[in-house]
Amino acid sequence: MKQIAAIGKYWIMVWELFKKPTKWSVMRNLILKEIDELIYGSMGIIVFISFFIGGVVAIQTALNITNPLIPKYLVGFATRQSVILEFAPTFTSIIMAGKVGSYITSSIGTMRVTEQIDALEVMGVNSLNYLVFPKIIAMLMYPFVIAIAMNVGILGGWIAGVFGGFSSSADFINGIQLDFIPYHVFYAFMKTLAFAFIIATVPSFHGYYMKGGALEVGKASTTSFVWTSVVIIITNYTLTQLMLG
């Protein structure tokens, strides 16, 4: 029952945050600040992870091709499919749930503990709109990050495959181009937008409604990461069934 009540409370929060919007002159600066902290600040770790994930996929695919009748271009094909369909959008989102989600929960939770949220409410500001809405708008940039992750992941696979001696450059590129379906990229971006909304709102929910002191802020950050990851995985399964099933 506690989980069902929390789900209802979450959707009430989502509804409330669109009410009584903050002035655009103030909101614009908040959005730019969130883009810098949530998106630009995460680029380094995303590029790093994507590069090596692509390399690992290429190496493992090549090592499992033991039958000489299996074409060598399968290494590039498998790397492209794995990176675009799952590793770039989903695996990266789990990482973002830990990095960005924990930051969101701790920052809002600290404001709750220090009564800054209460001060905003006293001044007549919709604290949910002021604190959460800029994060949602900033996370609309997330598909651009995933697009970079896709390209870097495939590049990492190419470098690992070619310079590791597992595939020739021509075979790998042939595999990348083989039977390319643009809808798969559209599917990846659509679920990325859903993940972006989850990453922005679920940690905000745990930070905004937390109770206690500084110790509870740390606990709320851990809880938010767990539940954000769970919701991302469930959403991933649902969208895959709906869009690819």
Domain ranges of the chain: 22-244
d(CA 12, CA 17): 9
Q: By C-alpha distance, which of 155, 150, 157, 149 is closest to 57? A: 157
Nearest 5°: the CA angle 199, 200, 201 is 100
- Tokens 């604190």, residue located: 131
Q: How far apart are CA 100 and CA 38, in angstroms?
A: 6
Which of 194, 152, 127 has its CA nearest to residue 57?
Answer: 152
Q: State the angle between helix axes of 214-244 and 182-208 in degrees (0 to 180), rounded to the nearest 10.
A: 150
pTM of the model: 0.90
SS3 12: helix
Cα 165 to its chain centre, rounded Å, is 33
- For the chain, the average pLDDT equals 88
Task: Name the nearest CA neighbour of 79 among 22, 155, 133.
Answer: 155
The region of weakest confidence among 24-33, 69-78, 197-206 is: 69-78
Tens digits of per-residue pLDDT, 56-91? 999 988 888 777 777 888 888 989 999 998 888 998
Number of Cβ atoms within 10 Å of the Cβ of 49:
19
Q: What is the pLDDT of residue 94?
A: 92
